[in-house]
Amino acid sequence: MTDTKVFLLDGGSLVLDGYHVFWNRGPGGEVRFPVYSILIEHRDGRFLIDTGYDYDHVMKVLPFEKPIQSKEQTIPGALALLGLAPKDVGVVVNSHFHFDHVGGNKFFPHAKKICHRDEIAQAITPQPFEVLGYSDLSFSKQAADARNASQQLLAGTSADNSTFEGVTGDIELAKGVTLIFTPGHAIGHYSLLVEFSNRKPILFTIDASYTQKSLETLCQASFHVDPVQGVASMRRLKQLAEQHGAELMYSHDMENYKTYRTGTEFYG
């Protein structure tokens, strides 16, 4: 297990209006988009970036997003396709704490958990327009307790096993695995650059750019805390992709996602 491999864990799909996906641009109408997590097998261990959405949470709080998620599209189900279980993952990183990126954290009480330092306070005290985004608090006893949502916690979730290491700026987690600070969509949002020995790097925009068209038109999603920072982050991603000769991969782009390797297929 020396050469880095990247697996995409399919997490099902959700629906938003086109004006949410493409802020003030549209076109309107239902857009069904994928949700996935990124599993990195590295000589230093297994890193999981994001954990998708929790079906029951979405049906309870955001049923209008019409979740479709099979058993194989839950985090334990997607890992099982690879012959793995949650306990095989040593480090969980959350790009940010929106509900569609934290839903499976509850399966990793044993793992080291990493996020941007400022996301923790933001999930506890979001801006009024961010409350729905930060509505699944099952990833953190501290956050759930602070928002009177402790009923969301899975039995066994404690302050000890849901504590995060907060980091800032760009940070290399392991050789060739770098979190790129791209604020705007969320206050502590991270994109992800993965470098390989035998292929070009992959730059995962995560939610700094939902789709390829988003980046081409510098049109971010309507969910953001600072749209000016959001545009700057998109420009930075374009620059980084060019500088590193990286392939760009988007978080919520159904057309491109259909061409991505999922299940037992991998990059590396």
Residues tagged active-site:
100
How far is the CA of 23 from the CAs of 28, 33, 123, 214, 223, in angstroms? 10, 16, 22, 9, 8
Find the shortest distance in angstroms from Cβ 96 to Zn ion: 6
**Contact status: 41 vs Zn ion (CB under 5 A):** no
Nearer CB in complex with ligand 5PN: 138/178: 138
Nearer CB in complex with Zn ion: 7/250: 250
Nearer CB in complex with ligand 5PN: 41/136: 136
> How many Å from the N-terminal Cα to the C-terminal Cα in the chain?
11
Find the shortest distance in angstroms from Cβ 110 to Zn ion: 25
How many CB atoms lie under 10 A from the CB of residue 60? Answer: 12
Chain centroid offset of residue 178 CA: 14
Which spans of this chain sit near ligand 5PN (rule: CB under 6 A)? 14, 16, 65, 98, 100, 132-133, 223
* CB-based contacts of 251, cutoff 8 Å, min separation 6: 35, 36, 204, 205, 206, 207, 209, 210
**Contact status: 253 vs Zn ion (CB under 5 A):** no
Find the shortest distance in angstroms from Cβ 226 to Zn ion: 13
Is residue 39 within 8 A of residue 9, CB to CB? The reply is yes
C-alpha span between 196 and 174 (Å, rounded): 12
**Contact status: 116 vs Zn ion (CB under 5 A):** no
Find the shortest distance in angstroms from Cβ 32 to ligand 5PN: 11
Nearer CB in complex with ligand 5PN: 65/119: 65
**Which of 105, 207, 219, 220 is the binder for Zn ion (CB under 5 A)?**
207
Is residue 190 within 8 A of residue 118, CB to CB? The reply is no
* CB-based contacts of 261, cutoff 8 Å, min separation 6: 7, 8, 267
Segment contacting Zn ion (CB under 5 A): 81-89, 97-105, 115-123, 150-158? 97-105
**Which of 100, 119, 136, 253 is the binder for Zn ion (CB under 5 A)?**
100
Task: Please choose which of ligand 5PN, Zn ion, none residue 132 contacts, taking the beta carbon within 5 to 8 angstroms, the exact cut-off set by kind.
Answer: ligand 5PN
Find the shortest distance in angstroms from Cβ 16 to ligand 5PN: 6
Kindly state the helix (H) or strand (E) to which residue 59 belongs, with its residue range.
helix 55-61
Binding site for Zn ion (CB under 5 A): 98, 100, 207
